[in-house]
A and B are shown apart, each in its own frame.
Chain A
Amino acid sequence: MLVTATSTSAMQGGFNNVPTEAARQFRAIMNAIARPGRIETLGGATPPAPMSVAAGVIVLTLCDPDTGLHLAGDHDTPDIRAWVQFHTGAPFVPAENANFAIGRWEALSPLTIYAHGTPEYPDRSATLIIEMDALSTDGAILTGPGIEDSASLSLPEIEALKTNALLFPLGLDFFFCADTRLASLPRTTKVTEGGAI
């Protein structure tokens, strides 16, 4: 698709130096998924609103013509489509075919429609990038690989994420984004309700 006149701004807002910037941002993304509940700060991308900087960085770092991307709810705008297309070339797909899906929690639900992997290939599962208003290290209690004792993270919902963990080794992996901040919840993390905040 050609870049249309309305989306010349689509060409802005990518990494300044793709190889080194992508490497640095990937390190932060990897640290987030390897240490569930830890909040990392991303930067270097300025995607069109309402996409957060952190979600934009994940798209630039991980998406390309090989990965189907699903834009959910208020994220499915011509501006975001043009921006993602120009910078990554990722095809837009319906939720059930998505490698990555971006949107607010309500727009992405229910989780059952996404690919959860197969018993022989549990890696063939979707990664959900969830836009949040804020992100803080209180709320639900997290335990599992990557966490020494326990960690806490503000989650949009607990029940669905508990169910997701029960499906292990199948399941979805989550990135939670608020502005430049990123936290992650892989399928291995066990979630329980937190006590008093």
Chain B
Amino acid sequence: MTDYNFAYLDEQTKRMIRRAILKGLAIPGYQVPFASREMPMPYGWGTGGVQVSAATLTPEDVFKVIDQGADDTTNAVSIRKFFQATAGVDTTEETEEATVIQTRHRIPEAPLNEDQILVYQVPIPEPLRFLEPRETETRKMHSLEEYGLMHVKLYEDIARHGAIATAYAYPVKVEGRYVMDPSPIPKFDNPKMTMPAIQLFGAGREQRIYALPPYTKVVSLDFEDYPFEASKADHSCELCGADDSYLDEVIVDDQGGRIFVCSDTAYCAARQAAQSDAAAAQYEEISA
């Protein structure tokens, strides 16, 4: 740990990121440019989230990292180890125990509280980028609040597919002003974004930071006759039986067999543990 400055980044870089975070919180949904640094991992591996976490972590924090909901995938494990080594923070897999949670593409199932901070890894922060490739133009569109193009895109979804087919990175409007990319979380998670915790978004390659203060109004774009719907696979979890959590489809053999399991591994594991405890207690009761 003594080989690095606390949380890896130098102090001047952290100050620059911290100033960007504060302006982001003051202008919810607006993408603040920042001078993203080279990190000891490739772009696309969460360098934006890592830099935001580095500028946010304190020695007392308990840090959790999830990748598509899972604590045990490569990206999550390596980022967790990175901050264990460079910041000396405690880490956890349990959502309730964590004070800072870095996430790739999911919001945990367990509701977050006021003392928690959720840091998102963002690949493309600009919601209009696939509609308008020029940064000069998208910047002007945001300044003029000119979001008609996004509604046309959603309308074309309906015209072609009969419904809004956008299933992840579903655009939201923040406090009635900025259209924001919620990062590629499934649209199932969109309604959770009005929450008591602070949400910070970091895009390393694209050099943008944005933020949502607690209880900020976040509304998924839709039409009166085609209202937004937070959808998930129409199954329950094969492992814990949950029917209210977001599910991953898992192929289990080469015969077309498939199961659906919770994408939030901590949520699923806690439910399974509770069930086996309950079963054990029941067994003891019967055998007593």
Number of interface residues of B (CB under 8 A): 45
Nearest-CB distance from A117 to chain B (Å)? 8
Looking at the assembled complex, report how far the CB atom of B193 sits from the nearest CB atom of chain A, in whole angstroms. Answer: 12
Partner of B7, one of A19, A29, A33, A144: A19
Picked from A29, A144, A168, A188, the residue with its CB within 8 Å of the CB of B22 is A29
Measured in the bound complex, the distance between the Cα atoms of B178 and A169 in whole Å is 9
B214 touches A35 (CB 8 A): yes
In the complex, how many angstroms separate the beta carbon of B168 from the nearest chain A beta carbon? 24
Total count of chain A residues near the partner, CB < 8 A: 41
Tell me which residues from 48 to 88 in chain B have a Cβ below 8 Å from any Cβ of chain A: 55-60
Measured CB to CB, the nearest residue on chain A to B32 is: A123
Report how far A173 CA is from B20 CA in the complex, Å.
13
Interface string of A109-136 (1 = CB under 8 A from B): 0000000001111110101000000000
Tell whether, in the assembled complex, residue B143 and residue A145 are in contact, meaning their CB atoms are under 8 Å apart: no
**In this complex, what residue of A is CB-closest to B197?**
A34
The answer to whether B19 and A145 touch across the interface, beta carbons within 8 angstroms, is no
Near B by CB (< 8 A), chain A positions 69-119 give 99, 118-119
With the chains together, A89 CA to B59 CA distance in Å? Answer: 26
B46 close to chain A: CB less than 8 A:
no
Q: Which residues of A contact B217 (CB under 8 A)?
A: 145
Nearest residue, chain A, Cβ from B100: A27
* Nearest CB on A from B40, distance (A): 18
- Chain B residues, Cβ within 8 Å of A99: 19
B15 close to A61 (CB less than 8 A): yes
**Pairwise interchain contact B214-A19, C-beta atoms closer than 8 A:** no
- With beta carbons under 8 angstroms apart, the residue of B12, B14, B21, B28 that contacts A188 is B28
A147 touches B215 (CB 8 A): yes
Q: Is A62 a contact partner of B27 (Cβ separation < 8 A)?
A: no
Beyond A30-B56, A146-B216, is A169–B177 a contact (Cβ under 8 Å)? yes
A20→B87 CA distance, assembly (Å): 9
CB-CB under 8 A from A34, the residues of chain B are: 25, 198, 211, 213-214
Q: Which residues of A10-68 have CB atoms within 8 Å of chain B's CB atoms?
A: 18-20, 22-24, 26-27, 29-31, 33-35, 61-67
Which residue of B has the minimal Cβ distance to A99?
B19
* CB 8 Å contact bits of B152-168 with A (1 = contact, 0 = none): 00000000000000000
How far is it, in angstroms, between the C-alpha of A5 and the C-alpha of B256 when the chains are bound?
Answer: 81
Task: Please give the distance in Å from A54's CB to the nearest CB on chain B.
Answer: 15
Q: Which residue of B lies closest to A175 (CB)?
A: B22
Residues of B within 8 A of A18 (CB): 11
Q: Which residue of B lies closest to A29 (CB)?
A: B22
Across the interface, which residues of A come within 8 angstroms of B21, CB to CB? 30
User: Contacts of B144 on A, CB cut-off 8 Å?
Assistant: 119
B residues 5-34 touching A (CB-CB < 8 Å): 5-7, 11-12, 14-16, 18-28, 30, 32-33
**8 Å CB contact of A20 from B15, B58, B212, B213:** B58
- Is A181 at the interface (CB under 8 A from chain B)? no
Known: A18-B11, A146-B216, A147-B215. A62 touches B18 (CB 8 A): yes
B192 at the interface (CB under 8 A from A): no
Are the CB atoms of B7 and A23 closer together than 8 Å?
A: yes
Interface membership of B139, Cβ < 8 A = yes
Residues of B within 8 A of A65 (CB): 12
Complex contact B22–A145 (CB within 8 A)? no
Give Cα A6 to B235, complex, Å: 74
B134 within 8 Å of A by Cβ? Answer: no
Most B CB contacts (10 A, CB to CB) among A22, A29, A30, A67 go to A30
Question: Contact at B55–A26, with CB atoms within 8 Å?
Answer: yes
The reply to whether B177 and A27 contact each other, CB–CB distance below 8 Å, is: no
Of B16, B55, B211, which contacts A66 at CB under 8 A? B16
CB within 8 Å for A30 and B6 given contacts A19-B11, A66-B16: no
Residues on A with beta carbons closer than 8 Å to the beta carbon of B212:
145
Q: Does A148 contact B (CB under 8 A)?
A: yes
CB < 8 Å neighbour of B139 from A23, A35, A120, A127: A120
Separation in Å of the A64 CB from the closest CB of chain B?
5
A23 close to B59 (CB less than 8 A) = yes
- The 13 listed contacts between A and B (C-beta, < 8 Å) are A18-B11, A19-B7, A23-B7, A24-B60, A26-B55, A62-B15, A66-B16, A120-B140, A123-B23, A173-B22, A173-B23, A187-B26, A187-B27
